[in-house]
Amino acid sequence: MTRAKQHPRAMSPVGVASLLPERARLQRRLEARVIDHFTRAGYQEVIPPLVEYLDVIAPVLGSGLVERAYTFADRATGRLMVLRPDVTPQIARMVAQLLADHREPLRFCYRATVFRHEEAHAGREREVMQIGVELIGPSDASADAEVIILALSVLKELGIDGARLALGHPGVFEGLLEGADAQEPVVRELRDALARRDRAELTALARQALPSRQAGHMESLLDSIGQAEVLTEAARRFKGHKDGKTTEAIQRLTDIHRRVDKAGYGASVLIDLGEVRGLNYYTGMVFDLFVPGIGYEIGGGGRYDQLIGRFGVDRPSTGFALSATPLLQLLAEREEGAPAGNGAARKGRHGD
């Protein structure tokens, strides 16, 4: 029965890249420019290890990441180790373990590859270089605005035009469920439908699970996308409503937006109250970054106030990460397409 098929065997794993000199130079230059920008903004670079103990890091990993992580046994102890699938939980671990007594705000940045098993999907490789920051300590809107401005300013620094930061807050959605005794499977289905912007499904589910006023509000999230006026309209719509969490979230977003606008980046922010996707450790504002020419998000972040707390040290935090691959693609296209001295080459000289 067994037919020994002579499959040609891959010489390198799927989803990982080997960079030859031109790309390697481009990637290192990109990393250096981004890290340099973060450093000048007061963020100090840290270097997390490539591996962690799975049992330590698993409780703070976003949903689905444990299943997609690469694990292997530690020779000495037999405990499972994991190739880091996300940097933020590592930094949380580092802060809780090594800096628990440090009460001043911490501003860290990092460049690190993360490893996740991925089926073929747009923008998903198995080894991804992430360059990011974490602002640990402050819980106020100015910290949220600070990292948003940092994200938009670093793209500007790289000469990438037309960036759009889609800003949302899971509290908007969660507040609308308050008082309705919707069960977890229904909540998950509602969240999935909203994440997909599936109007038919969301409407049907909301009308089943929520009082009609709340259902109407839930449906209105689908159309709550646009500039700052979305927040004004939402504040009016949800006024006097007992959804305290929803109102709070909208106030917070308004506060953040005002600060980002003041810094001159208001036009790059797209408010999207239907944005509920993302890693489940986010407790406050969340955002995704998009740029013309790339069909998926090039980065994203948000506020995660309970993550470090899960290691026993209460420390609100906020941050974001950029994926190097799409940025490299943009920079490489420009380098190949445009004459020397154009765009990136000229703008990126500060720190060299």
Residues near another protein (CB under 8 A):
121-122, 161-162, 164, 166, 196-201, 203-204, 207, 222, 225-226, 267-268, 270, 272, 288, 290-292, 294-297
Nearer to another protein, 197 or 241 (CB): 197
Rounded distance between C-alpha atoms, residue 294 and residue 222, angstroms: 23
Min dist. Cβ of residue 272 to another protein (A): 7
Nearer to another protein, 268 or 283 (CB): 268
Which one, 191 or 245, has the nearer CB to another protein? Answer: 191
CA–chain centroid gap for 220, Å, is: 24
Pick 14 or 100: Cβ nearer another protein: 14
Report H helices in 69-183: 88-98, 141-157, 170-177
Q: What's the closest the beta carbon of residue 268 comes to another protein, in angstroms?
A: 7
Closest distance of CB 29 from another protein, Å: 25
Cβ neighbors of 18 (< 8 A, separation 6 or more) are 12
Whose structure tokens read 């990993």?
Answer: 61
Nearer to another protein, 85 or 300 (CB): 300
Helix (H) or strand (E) holding 343: helix 343-347
36 phi and psi, to 5 degrees? -60, -40
Nearer to another protein, 167 or 324 (CB): 167
Q: Which is nearer to another protein, 86 or 288 (CB)?
A: 288
Write the DSSP string, 201-261. Answer: HHHHHHHHHS-HHHHHHHHHGGG-EESTHHHHHHHHHTTT-S-HHHHHHHHHHHHHHHHHH
- Please report how close the Cβ of residue 163 comes to another protein at its closest, in angstroms: 9
Angle, helices 141-157/244-262, rounded to nearest 10 degrees: 40
Q: How far is CA 62 from CA 58, 87, 109, 159, 196, in A?
A: 9, 11, 20, 32, 19
Closest approach, Cβ 162 to another protein, in A, equals: 6
Min CB(3)–another protein separation in Å: 18
Tell the smallest beta-carbon distance from residue 85 to another protein (Å).
18
